[in-house]
Structure 1
Amino acid sequence: MPDTAVPDRPTHMHAVLARWAAEHPDREALRYGERTWTWAQLLSRVARNAAAQRAAGLQPGDRVAVLDLNHPSCLETTLACAQVGTANTVVNFRLAPSEVAYVINDSAAKVLFVGPEFAELVAGVREHLPHVRRVIQVGDPGTPGDEYEAWLDIEPDPEVYPAAPDECFLQLYTSGTTGFPKGAMLTHAGMIAHSANVVAAVGAAPESNVLVAMPLFHVGGSSYALVCLYSGARMVLTRIPDPTRLPAIMEREKITHTFFVPALMALMTKVPDVGAHDYSALRVLCYGASPMPLPVLRASMKVFPNVFMQVYGMTEACGVITVLGSEEHADTANEHRLISAGKPIPGVTIEIRDPSSGKPVGTGESGEVWVRTEQLMGGYWNKPEATAAAIDEDGWYRSGDGGHFDEDGYLYITDRIKDMIISGGENIYPAELERVLAEHPSVADVTVVGVPDDKWGEVPKAVLVAADGHTVDEAELLAFCRQQLASYKCPKSVDVVDELPRNATGKILKKDIRARYWEGRDRRTV
């Protein structure tokens, strides 16, 4: 794609850290529990981590891996990798042992940093990790078993590997809802472009206090932390996103910016006295990574008024690509926009293309979301065919998401293309049905899948979990849908289950649900 780099924008992630360490060496950069780091201290610790990597024989292009809950050592390792030319693979700690081993082996990580909660897991798969030369236990300084501080007990190495802008320093794995996860290679240029674009959208600055609560194995964690770093803001990092503790942290630390996922927001709104805390410092509360049910959004807006910003994005684009701002959230005359993903952020171009032909479709027409931006990954690690299938020769990324633009330029995400239901020749997007069903008081959790039908080929079925204290009346629920949706879109039946299957990042495994109904039947690829 054309060179769109901003002339005064850094091209190396280490330059971002070095800038703030030079301008504000004694200002607090990071808080984790009762521990704090100034910008100068953070720079020194990263330089010692870099020196330790080199002493361990790591070379540019090598991978390390982190399997831990949120801890400053993960961020320090990511920044050290940027300095050395290596890349940090942050492993999803919610994976099963065999899946953890797959990711570590796929990355060929030579050094593995492990938190205390996962030491037993790693011991169980250690013999199946042939690339790992050394396992380093991570804990708080002085705690039994901590080896990370000893790892840093080395003379700082100021040398900075002259990485090209398109070299990877952070490797995050996709969630793998349809197969093994793929390692998205996030580059200096991509992450810096993302950081600059998001900082412009959310208004973070050196005077801001940014709460990073989401797991660092996700772009909502690591990418958001790097956005904070880019802005020069003070970062407050929590080990886990505990909904019962976050309100007090937000008040005490005078948090101005943060990012939460909808599931966390749903839990926070139910915390006793959540509205009694002082959130007057809060300027922007971003949410995303999964659809936000409108009942949860409305309840959340009562607790945190005038600060909400919806973000839509993907690992392959380092994170955020569109934003729906606080003004739209407050616009009661256009409340329908609350279910949109907003508009592309600066530096991002989005087109809706026909998923079969790849040709652009008209305004209001549904198709696949294609993305072109400097934020894009360098490709999937060791998967050239998957990379070529995802990114065309002109630099357009095929997201796999279905969507459309309205006449005002707002993007609406309908569903994953693979989840679309084709019933009697009509395209039905389950997410549209799920939004309506989630509004019914008897529904706690819901998904919609296509099931076999002799007349129409397939028809929508709602599979849901009943809300506490409620009994689901199928006829009432279907009538509720018909009041708000065209009849052909509405579910034809309802199944009530105890829980919906989810992957390690919380996404519903529709392929597993569909499999229950399609056994022995032919269907398009699922």
Structure 2
Amino acid sequence: MRNQGIGSWTARRARMSPDSVAVVSDGREWTYGQLHRRSTMFAHALAKLDVASGDRVAYLGPNHGNFLEVLFGAGQLGAIFVPLNARLTPDELAYILDDSGTTVLVHSPAHAAAAGALREVVPHVFDFDAYENLLAAAPDDPLDEPVDQEDVAVIMYTSGTTGRPKGASLSHANIHWNSFNLLIDVDVAGDEVTLVNAPMFHVAALNQTVLPTLLKGGTVVLMAAFDPVRTLELIAERRVTYLFGVPAMFQAIAATPAWADADLSSVRTMICGGAPVPESVITTYQRRGLTFLQGYGLTESAPSALFLRAAESTRKVGSAGTPCFFTDVRVVDAAGADVAPGVPGEVILHGPNVMPGYWDKPAETAAVLSADGWLRTGDLAVVDDEGFLYIRDRIKDLIISGGENIYPAEVEDAIHQHPAVADCAVIGVADERWGEVGRAVVVVREGQAVDPVELRDFLTSRIAKYKVPASVVFAGALPRTASGKLLKSRLRATYGDG
């Protein structure tokens, strides 16, 4: 095949196991043969719209079989897939679509209102009904466009400290090598039944569960939205063997009344990531005799970096593990020298799964990628004397809430739009359910007033709900350096959780 990218995967699988079930979604089943045929028809439909190699095609909606058809159909042409965070506001989505130069958007019925506002940004917008009409009018003749491993396959947007999201450009090679890392660590089998209840617009759900399972010829069972009770039901009904979640999801599952008597006998592996994993969560699952693993990675590394494997999952509880097979990891000081065991340093990564850069942002790329390809993560860790890493803190001010990344600068920018706000800062505080939530520290303009409820209501129309601070406190002034830089360490000490 001339197509060496992930767009060729459906053809390769269809010739090996065309009648095996690839996807279960929305009450339907797709065999590998059907997934390939429908993806091919979508590729032909895109070609009729003059979509070619390098053009961007986006999807907005829940986990659904159509998500995968758009991904693989775009990949057949060498087009670039842009999965959109379904929780973003129309303004946030419009920025991403404009920044990426997306020409085609496929969206679910639930996002019709948002999609209507996006027609000014994207030339071709299709809801699921129009999408089906496109496929019905398209041929299913085989396609084999030339696609190189180093071509960009997917652009995944991650919020930036400047308040504007950046698109991590992941090549076909990045995704391939990440899959190899995962398959080595997890031993995904050809009979795997993978439950996907985390959103596929996040890198871990797509690249750590869905794509490795399809690569091996297993079945992915897609949930449109996470529901802890339904998760336990599906594990029993579908005999699920493998699933991923962020800590808040696993906590919610274990908190349901059905947990005590749930049939988990089919489960071989559970992976937790996306946020620091409390030891209590790990031990809760281990007490049920389950293999509960955790890892560490970033969107920019597609995401594999560290993994705590089954053999050490009990002995090294709380560790993020050691480097994945094809990824090199170092913990360094400010001068770039490796730190001694027990000394905090910044985590840096190198490997074929590390992105070539941010989409159309050379300056931002140069800030995190060295000339020889080492990625600065901005995360602090310590290494023990056996080489296991423990993530301790973040150099950046990133807040991770239930697996979602929240960048304070973006939230602060929205708060500053309120006419009564003179100054503000957002910090992260501990939360039992979500691990961490935002707290806004606000200085009100003289002679004006605003209460916390009003301010939070003001923000919900400007930023996604999960970014809205869970609490608001008021201050007379914010601590700053002589140059005007916020002293967030002092803010955390005064207004944080200690």
- Flag whether TM exceeds 0.5 (same fold): yes
Q: 1:16 aligns with which of 9, 13, 23?
A: 9
- What is the identity, as a one-letter code, of the residue corresponding to 2:86? F
Structure 1 segment 346-361 matched on structure 2, within 5 A: 346-354=325-333, 356-361=334-339
Alignment of 1:253-332 (within 5 A): 253-302=238-287, 304-331=288-315
Between the aligned partners of 1:290 and 1:253, the Cα distance in structure 2 is: 28
Question: Is 1:213 the equivalent of 2:197?
Answer: yes
2:101 matched to which residue of 1? Answer: 108
Alignment of 1:459-474 (within 5 A): 463=429
8 Å contact from structure 1 (residues 341, 413) kept in 2 = yes
Give the C-alpha shift of residue 306 in structure 1: 2.9
Question: Which digits, 9 at most, give the CA deviation of each residue in 1:149-195, with x for residues without a partner?
Answer: 11212102422221221111211111346521111111110101101
Matches within 5 A, 1:421-436: none
Larger relative contact order (CA 8 Å, sep ≥ 6): 2
Give TM-score, length-normalised by structure 1: 0.76
Report how many aligned residue pairs link the two structures.
433
What is the aligned partner in structure 2 of residue 152 from structure 1?
Answer: 135
Of 188, 191, 206, which aligns to 1:204? 188
Q: Which stretches in structure 1 are left out of the alignment for 5+ residues?
A: 1-9, 139-145, 332-336, 421-429, 435-460, 468-496
Aligned with 1:135 (options 125, 132, 138): 125
CA distance in 2, matches of 1:323, 1:83: 32
Q: Are 1:324 and 1:342, in contact at CA under 8 Å, matched by a contact in 2? A: yes
* Alpha carbons of structure 1 residues 227 and 289: separation in structure 2 relative to 1, 3 Å: same
Cα distance, 1:524 vs structure 2? 5.8
Distance change >3 Å, CA 276–CA 43, structure 1 → 2: same
In structure 2, list runs of 5 or more residues that go unmatched: 402-426, 434-451, 489-498
SS of residue in 1 equivalent to 2:102 = coil
Q: Per the alignment, do residues 24 and 516 of structure 1 end up closer, same or farther by CA in structure 2, a change over 3 Å counting?
A: farther
- Alpha-carbon distance in structure 1 between the residues aligned to 2:366 and 2:110: 38
Report the residue type matching 2:332 in the other structure: R
Q: Distance in 1 between matches of 2:131 and 2:111?
A: 15
> Contact 2:304–2:353 (CA<8 Å) still a contact in 1?
no
Match of 1:377 in 2: 355
Q: 3-state SS of the aligned residue for 1:305?
A: coil
**Normalising by the residue count of structure 2, what TM-score does the alignment of the two structures yield?**
0.80
Give the partner amino acid of 1:401. D
In structure 2, the partner of 1:458 is: none
Structure 1 counterpart of 2:78, from 82, 85, 102: 85
Identify the residue that residue 320 of structure 2 maps to in structure 1. 341
Distance in 2 separating the partners of 1:343 and 1:360: 15
Q: Distance in 2 between matches of 1:507 and 1:295?
A: 26
1:115-135 deviation per Cα after TM superposition (whole angstroms, max 9, x unaligned): 1111112223433x1xx1111
Contact 2:24 2:222 in 1 (8 A): yes
Q: Give per-residue Cα distances to partners, 1:287-309, cap 9 Å, x unaligned.
A: 1001122333333433x423101
Q: How does 1:23-38 map to 2 (within 5 A)?
A: 23-38=16-31
Conserved in 1, the CA contact under 8 Å of 2:7 and 2:78? no
| Cα distance between partner residues in 2 of 1:525 and 1:178 | 17
- Do the aligned residues in 1 keep the contact of 2:8 with 2:75 (CA within 8 Å)? no
By how many angstroms is 1:219 displaced? Answer: 0.7
Further displaced range: 290-299 or 32-41: 290-299
Specify whether residues 505 and 397 from structure 1 end up closer, same or farther in structure 2 by C-alpha distance, changes over 3 A only.
farther
Structure 1 distance, partners of 2:350, 2:432, is 41
Q: 1:403 to 1:524 in 2, by over 3 A?
A: farther
Counterpart position of 1:451: none
1:412 and 2:402 matched: no
Q: CA deviation at 1:514?
A: 10
1:400/1:252 Cα in 2 relative to 1: closer, same or farther (>3 Å)? Answer: same
Per-residue deviation at 1:33?
3.5
Alignment partners' CA distance in 1, 2:274 and 2:49: 36
State which of 480, 487, 498 in structure 2 corresponds to 1:521: 480
Describe the superposition over 1:78-129 as per-residue Cα deviations: whole angstroms up to 9, x where unpaired. 11121111111111111122111111111111111111111112223433x1
**AA partner of residue 235 (structure 1):** V
Distance 1:113 1:399 in 2: 32
Letter in 2 for 1:148: Y
> Given residue 165 of structure 1, which amino acid in structure 2 is its aligned partner?
Q
Q: Which residue of 2 aligns with 1:186?
A: 170
* TM-fit CA distance, 1:262: 0.7
CA distance in 1, matches of 2:28, 2:125: 24
Instruction: Find the aligned partners of 1:328 and 1:505 in 2 and give their Cα distance.
Output: 37
**SS of structure 1 residue aligned to 2:35:** helix
Could you say which residue in structure 1 is the equivalent of 2:157? Answer: 173
- 2: CA distance, partners of 1:325 / 1:464: 27
Deviation at 1:246, TM superposition (A): 0.4
Deviates more, 1:173-182 or 1:48-57: 173-182
Contact 1:75 1:222 in 2 (8 A): no
2: CA distance between counterparts of 1:339 and 1:243?
24
Q: Which amino acid aligns with 1:81?
A: A
d(CA) in 1 for partners of 2:101 and 2:357?
17
Helix, strand or coil for the counterpart of 1:197?
helix
